[in-house]
Amino acid sequence: MAGSRVDLKVVLLGKEYGGKTSLVERYLHDRFHGDVPYQNTIGAAFGAKKVEIGGKMITMGIWDTAGSERYEAMSRIYYRGAKAACILADLTDYTSFERTRFWVNELKTNEEHCKIYLSGTKYDLVENDKKNRKVDYHMTTDFADEIHAQVMETSSKTGYHIKELFQKIAEDFVDDPSNLEIKEPNTLNMYESAYKKKFCC
Ligand SMILES: Nc1nc2c(ncn2[C@@H]2O[C@H](COP(=O)(O)OP(=O)(O)OP(=O)(O)O)[C@@H](O)[C@H]2O)c(=O)[nH]1
């Protein structure tokens, strides 16, 4: 099985302004656009990355969805068939944490085989300034325990835990034998027509 190609669809979900696009930008391109004015995602954006896990090359396709409730119905299109979902909660915004339950319910109802990961974003803003923190560490860990999910606090500004998060997602995928059937190459190409939002050329 070494060297066989496996495609892993990952979807990012969460309230608008929560940091989804920034997380993808940091992971795929190792950059952070803190000086660029915020633009909300329209529809979704797609990016892919090859990762090697224990001698297996995986093409990870990451869907960055729009957090605005206006686009909620569209997000369902993007999480369909996802093997992993990363649900984000902005650590400086309690309502963002509240919204994670909605997405968990969505996935449990419609994509029961999708593995869920929680990410508390913008860790750099709370690390040295505790009054900025509106989502307590134990809120996310307790919720993660309740829904049997993994949780990590991350910062796209500093890169804190970003690689680790996606590495964990990829490792869990490889560790599940049902995911290791040989797939036709380029199965992700059907997504390539996806439109990108910000930071795109
Ligand atoms: N300091 C800091 N700011 C961040 C971080 N992640 C995102 N931001 C900022 O938060 C704002 C929203 O980030 P986005 O990544 O666009 O959020 P989003 O979830 O994609 O938003 P939608 O497209 O509306 O769903 C932007 O101004 C980012 O620069 C982080 O880790 N640290």
Residue from 25, 75, 156 whose mutation best tests the ligand 1 pocket (most atoms within 8 A of CB): 156
Residue 65 Cβ contacting ligand 1 at under 6 Å: no
- The pLDDT of residue 177 is 86
* Ligand 1 atom closest to the CA of 22, numbered from 1: 15
Domains and their CATH numbers in the chain: 5-175 (3.40.50.300)
**Digit-coded pLDDT (tens) for 47-61:** 999 999 988 889 999
CA–CA dist 125, 132 (Å, integer) = 7
pLDDT bracket for residue 91 (50, 70, 90) = very high
R_g (Cα) of the chain, nearest Å: 16
ipTM over 0.90: yes
Amino acid making up residue 164: E
113 Cβ contact partners less than 8 Å away, ≥ 6 residues apart: 83
Q: Is the pLDDT of residue 198 over 60?
A: no
pTM: predicted TM-score of the whole model, two decimal places: 0.89
Nearest-CA residue for ligand 1 atom 12 is: 17
Tell me the pLDDT of the chain averaged across its residues: 88
pLDDT bracket for residue 43 (50, 70, 90) = confident
pLDDT bracket for residue 181 (50, 70, 90) = low
